[in-house]
Amino acid sequence: MGQLYNVIVSSPAFMKIFFFVMPVMMGGFGNWLVPLLVGCGDMSHPRLNNFSYWVLPGALFMVVMSALIEGGAGTGWTLYPPLSSWIFHSSPALDMVIFSLHIAGFGSMMSSLNFMCTMITGRFYALIPERMPVFCWSMFVTSWLLLFSLPVLAGGLTMLLTDRHVNSSFFRPQGGGDPLLFQHLFWFFGHPEVYVLILPGFGLVSHTIVKSGGKLRVFGLAGMVYAMQSIGVLGFIVWAHHMFTVGMDVDSRAYFTGATMVIAVPTGIKVFSWLATLHGSMMIRFTPSFCWIMGFLFLFTVGGLTGVILSHGSLDVAMHDTYFVVGHFHYVLSMGAVFSIFIGFHNYFPLFFGIVPHKRYSKGHFYLAFLGVNLAFIPHHFLGLGGMPRRYVDYADCFFVWHKLSSWGSLMGMSATMMFCFILWETYYSRRGVVFGNYLPTSPEWMVTKEKMPMPRHRQGDVAFSHINAKKSLKVKNSKVGKK
C-alpha cells in the first residue's frame, strides 16, 4: 500500500511537469505565437522543431509504463538516493523514468535552441529587442534557462544510472560517495525548472491583461523584461534553499536566505506592473479570460508570500518536508502555471481556430476550478503548520478534517477538468464564429494588422462567393470592351 501511494505521488508529478506544462507552454503557445509575434513564417529550424516534438511520445510512454512495471517507481519526482539506488528500487521502472527524462530533456534543449535562433535571426528587421513582445522575452529567458540547467540534470541522472548498474559510487557512502551531491545537482536544475514552467505564463498573462484593459502596452515594459531576466539569473544561485535541513553551515544558510528573498523583488515588480496596467482601464469586461487573470493574480500572490516565509532558513527547518511546502509549491506552480495556460487558451483560441468557447460555461468552469483548488490546497498550509509531514500514506486523527476538505477540493478540481473537456466538445460542435476585429489586441507590439490575420471560417464562404461574382463581372466587362 505504501509503495502504491508513492507511485501515485511520483508518476503523475513527472507527467504534469515534463509532459503537460512544459509541452503546452513551449510546444503549444511558443511554436504558434513566437513566429507570429516576431514576423517570420515559421521557426528557424522546422525539422529540429519536429524532432523535439516526436521524442515526447516515446518518453511519455516510458513514464506511463514505469508505473505499471514491478510496483512502479516510488521515489518522488526528486529521485533522491539512496531511495533511488539499486538496493531500494531494483525494478526496471526507475530506469525507464531516468531514460524518459534523458530523452525529454534532450528534446527540450533542441527546442530551446530553435526558439533562441528564431528570435535572434528570424525577427522582423525593425523589431529591435527593446520592442519585442513580453511573451517573446519570456520564451527567450525560458530557453536559456533550459539550455544551462538541463545538462546538469543529465549528468546527475547519468551518475545515478551508473551507480545502479556499473557499480560506481558517486552517491553511495559505502564507496566514498555522497548522496547530497545528487541533491545539489538536481536542485541546480530543479529551481530554474520552476521558472521554466511559470515564465511563459507571465508572457501570456501580460498580453491578455493588455487586451482586457484596452491599453496600448503593458505598464513598465522595460521593467517587466529586466524582471524576467533577473528571475532567470537569480534562479541559478538559490538552489540550496531546498536543502536547509542537510546540516548546512550558518553562513551558507544566511546567503541562500538572502538570495532567495531577493527574487521576491522582480516578482513583485511584475505583479504591480500587471495591476498598474489594469488601473484606470475603462474597457474592462468580465470575460472568461479576465476571470482567469484575477484568479491567477490572487493565487500567484498567495504562493509568493508563502515562498518568502519558506525562504528563511530558520523557519524552513521547522516546515521543511511538511504539507506547508506542498501548499506553497502548488499555489505558485500548479495553479499559477495551469491558470496561465487557461488564460492563454481563452485569449488565443478564437485567433487560432476561428471559433469561440461558450462564455457562461467558461465562467462556470473558472468558478468551479478556483473554488476547488483553494479548497484543496489551503488546508495544506494548516496541516504543515500542525506538523503533518508530506509523502506519508497515513496520518493522525487530529488531521482528519483538513484532509477531508482537501479531498473535497480535489474532487471539485477533477469535476472542473471534466467540465473543460465538455466545453471543448461543445465549442467544436456549435462552431460559433468570431469577428477578428473584436479579438485583436490594440498593442503595437503585435506588429500585425487585421488584413494580415486569417479569415474566420464563417466568413470564408462569403468571401469565396464574392470572388466568384467579381470574376463574372470582370468577364462581362471585358467582353463588352471587346465588342466595342
Q: Is residue 159 part of a domain?
A: no
Q: Is residue 64 part of a domain?
A: no
* Residue 484 predicted with pLDDT over 80: no
**Residue entry with cell 525577427:** 123
Share of the chain above pLDDT 70, in %: 89
Contact between residue 92 and residue 69 where contact means Cβ atoms under 8 Å apart? yes
pLDDT, position 440: 44
Higher-pLDDT residue of 416 and 432 is 416
Where helices occur in 122-235 by DSSP H, the ranges are: 134-165, 179-213, 221-234
Condensed to tens digits (0 to 9), the pLDDT of residues 239-251 reads 999 999 999 999 9
Instruction: Work out the average pLDDT over 82-99.
Output: 93
* Contacts of 319 by beta carbon, 8 Å cutoff, 6+ apart: 309, 310, 325, 384, 385
- Cell numbers at residue 392, please? 506519508
**Which residue from 401, 353, 225, 373 is spatially nearest to 299, judged by alpha carbons?**
373
Q: Is residue 369 part of a domain?
A: yes
* Contacts of 418 by beta carbon, 8 Å cutoff, 6+ apart: none
* Residue 179 predicted with pLDDT over 90: yes
Instruction: Work out the average pLDDT over 199-227.
Output: 91
Contact between residue 262 and residue 241 where contact means Cβ atoms under 8 Å apart? no
* Contacts of 463 by beta carbon, 8 Å cutoff, 6+ apart: 455
Instruction: Work out the average pLDDT over 388-395.
Output: 92
The pTM score is: 0.87
- Cell numbers at residue 111, please? 527546442
- Cell numbers at residue 159, please? 551518475
Confidence of residue 297 (pLDDT cuts 50, 70, 90): very high
Contact between residue 298 and residue 271 where contact means Cβ atoms under 8 Å apart? no
Query: Cα–Cα distance between 73 and 354 in angstroms, integer?
Result: 43
* Contacts of 115 by beta carbon, 8 Å cutoff, 6+ apart: 26, 30, 34, 43, 139, 140, 142, 143
**Residue entry with cell 560517495:** 177
Domain count, the chain: 1
- Cell numbers at residue 210, please? 493588455
Contact between residue 134 and residue 203 where contact means Cβ atoms under 8 Å apart? yes
Condensed to tens digits (0 to 9), the pLDDT of residues 442-463 reads 333 333 334 444 444 444 444 4
Higher-pLDDT residue of 333 and 1 is 333
Containing domain of residue 291, as a range?
A: 285-433
**Which residue from 347, 366, 307 is spatially nearest to 331, judged by alpha carbons?**
307
pLDDT, position 480: 52
Q: Is residue 36 part of a domain?
A: no
Q: Is residue 31 part of a domain?
A: no
Q: 327-331, 347-351, 431-435: which range is least confident on average?
A: 431-435
Condensed to tens digits (0 to 9), the pLDDT of residues 51-63 reads 999 999 999 999 9
DSSP 415-441: HHHHHHHHHHHHHHHH--B--GGGTS-
Higher-pLDDT residue of 66 and 437 is 66
Q: 189-198, 277-286, 436-445: which range is least confident on average?
A: 436-445
Q: Which residues of 315-335 are buried (b: 16+ CB within 10 A; e: fewer)?
A: ebeebbebbbbbbbbbbbbbb
Q: Which amino acid is at 398?
A: C
Q: Is residue 125 part of a domain?
A: no
Kind and range of the H or E element at 351? helix 335-353
Q: Is residue 300 part of a domain?
A: yes
Note if the bond before 456 is cis, omega within 30 degrees.
no
Q: Is residue 367 part of a domain?
A: yes
Condensed to tens digits (0 to 9), the pLDDT of residues 340-386 reads 999 999 999 998 888 999 999 999 999 999 999 999 999 999 999 99
Query: Cα–Cα distance between 72 and 19 in angstroms, integer?
Result: 18
Contact between residue 277 and residue 209 where contact means Cβ atoms under 8 Å apart? yes
